[in-house]
Amino acid sequence: MSVFSRLAHATRKQNQEGDLPDFIVPLLLRIADNPQDFAGREELVGKLVERVMLYETYSELCCEKMGYGLEDIHRTLDELRVGY
């Protein structure tokens, strides 16, 4: 399974079964559905997959960070130059 397929799978799963907000799904799927636009940046897309898979709504609520939050995902999207 390619990193782009893994991103699509993780996005849908976290949106349906987890707490990943609906508004960020189109941005993530834009990357997953257009691998030719992100050729050569698969490592960064892999980082995004990890952050989506380990997304936690309240990741920064306690003294130690658990999982990744929207800010982490947005930071990676910025690196990929994907925005609203």
The 10s digit of each residue's pLDDT in 10-20 is 999 999 998 99
Q: CA-CA distances (angstroms) from residue 54 to 6, 20, 31, 33?
A: 13, 10, 18, 21
pTM tops 0.85, yes or no: yes
**Is the Cα torsion angle 19, 24, 26, 29 positive or negative in sign?**
negative
Query: Chain-wide mean pLDDT for the chain?
Result: 91
Domain residue limits, the chain? 3-79
Q: What is the pLDDT of residues 33-60, one digit of tens each?
A: 999 999 999 999 999 999 999 998 766 6
Rounded to 5°, angle at Cα 81 from 69 and 7? 55
